[in-house]
Chain A
Amino acid sequence: MINVDDELIEHMSSPNNYGRIDDADSIGIGENPQNGEKVIIYLNVSKKDDDFFIEDIKFEAIACMTTVVAGSIITKEAKEISFLTAEELVAVTLGMLEQVPPEQAACSEMVAVALKAAMDGFKLSLEKGEKKTLIYKIEQSCSPEKEFNATQEEQK
């Protein structure tokens, strides 16, 4: 059973960065293939020096409340940092989850891989010259499961 305290209640009642960014620079999706739960990360990105920066980040969860809490915590950390630092955040999060039972780890893992998918998708979009949305499935070493042209609907 999760220990409930004021901080957790705050994340549940007013999750940080919940919602979508219209015309986001990049969208990434983390998906749990076992039950179809999803996390969608929206990024607005700027370039500073040699790295990209997350100017704005929002997320939506088609998942349980634990995932919403994880999204609230991770996106708060990821706001206004460079891609390089965000990659470290993803790696640290995934590393910490190795110590956690799989069913509890899945929620945070979905958020972390969605963030990675959004960053990788942004870089891929620059390479290809058109917007790409990546879906990473959890427990699959973050290898792209599916790549497709982002539809108008998904960009809204």
Chain B
Amino acid sequence: MRELSVKTHELWLVVLMASFMSKDGETKRVLNDFSDIIFRHFTWIEKSLIKHNIDYDYNREPIPIKVDRLKVILNNIIDRINSIDLMLVSLQDEALRGRIDKDLSYIKDVVSKIDDEEVSAFNSKRVYKDYSLTKEATDAFTLFLFEESYKEYELIMIYNYLKAHSDNDFLNKIFQILVDESFFHLKSFGQMMAEMGILGVPRVIHKSLYQVEDVVQFLKDGIDEELAAKEQCLELSEAVGKDSQELADFFDFINYQENYHISLMQDALKHYEEKGA
């Protein structure tokens, strides 16, 4: 079942990356929805691992995604689903096995019928839409996207892990909102990276980051990091603001969203300090 979890984790990321690669609105939407479904599979399998006291982590293989044609990555998705099909037998929960099997069978069928497209997500042109950013602004934007897309992936996995290991409804509600918020950011940044021709899969996270020993300290550090991220957004908004009001508005929007994240983390921190986990 541990291997099934790893392969489902990898499949989720490949489908998500494929959604960024597509320039067809409908294909993008379908792949995006499928990636959400596969992430849910991942969380169900994780719950099953915990229920059966099976040791696991979020380690996985690096995922090569550089392709010229969408069909290549779509075929890769089908191959991965076929491999997962063979592993489903390791799931002891029959209802869960049936549910995932049905989902994957449908996803495979739809993916096999998606039209091919040329992929420009790896051409390194670093042009966003039709904006003419200066070299300095483009470099700052590039570094921000690489750093923050990883960070959002990291946050999704950390809060997902905390949620999977907590039975506290109040905390789980907060963790789920933080996962959802990071999903929105990851998808926004991933889409921008694909448009810039610099799409990359976030690197594997080290387990010490999510197997948190001191949640109180983790939340305190997290609040500091969110404050630093606000500063970064502000700097980036100023750097690109001269050339693109739309981009500046986007980074101001992200900046203001961090206030909400900080407030949620403060609520969780207060809960831990007053009542423990």
Contacts and interface: CB of A to CB of B under 8 A. Distances in A.
A100 interface: no
Given A4-B138, A9-B124, A13-B146, A18 B209 contact: no
A62 B204 contact: no
A40 B206 contact: yes
Contacts of A40: 206
Contact of A65 (B64, B143, B199): B143
Interface in A2-24: 2-4, 6, 9, 12-15, 18-20
A82 B147 CA distance: 33
A76 to B, nearest CB: 14
A1 interface: yes
A62 B206 contact: yes
B140 interface: yes
Contacts of B66: 14
Contacts of A12: 146, 198, 200
A3 B206 contact: no
A137 to B, nearest CB: 17
A64 interface: yes
Contacts of A3: 139
B124 A60 contact: no
Contact of B200 (A13, A60, A64): A13
Interface in A56-80: 60-62, 64-65, 68
B143 A18 contact: no
A4 B142 CA distance: 8
A3 B206 CA distance: 28
B200 A18 contact: no
Contact of B142 (A9, A20, A68): A9
Contacts of B146: 12-13, 65
The interface size bin for chain A is 20 to 34
Given A2-B143, A4-B139, A13 B199 contact: yes
Nearest to A68: B203
Contact of A19 (B140, B150, B204): B204
A4 B136 CA distance: 9
A19 B146 CA distance: 18
B25 interface: no
B208 A62 contact: yes
B204 A13 contact: no
A14 B124 CA distance: 13
B142 A18 contact: no
Contacts of B204: 18-19, 60
A42 to B, nearest CB: 12
A29 B208 CA distance: 13
A38 B126 CA distance: 30
A1 B139 contact: yes
Contacts of B139: 1-4
B259 interface: no
B203 A15 contact: yes
A118 B208 CA distance: 19
Contacts of B62: 14, 18-19
A75 to B, nearest CB: 13
5 contacts: A4-B142, A9-B198, A19-B204, A61-B206, A64-B147
Given A38-B206, A60-B206, 5 more contacts: A4-B142, A14-B64, A14-B66, A14-B200, A64-B147
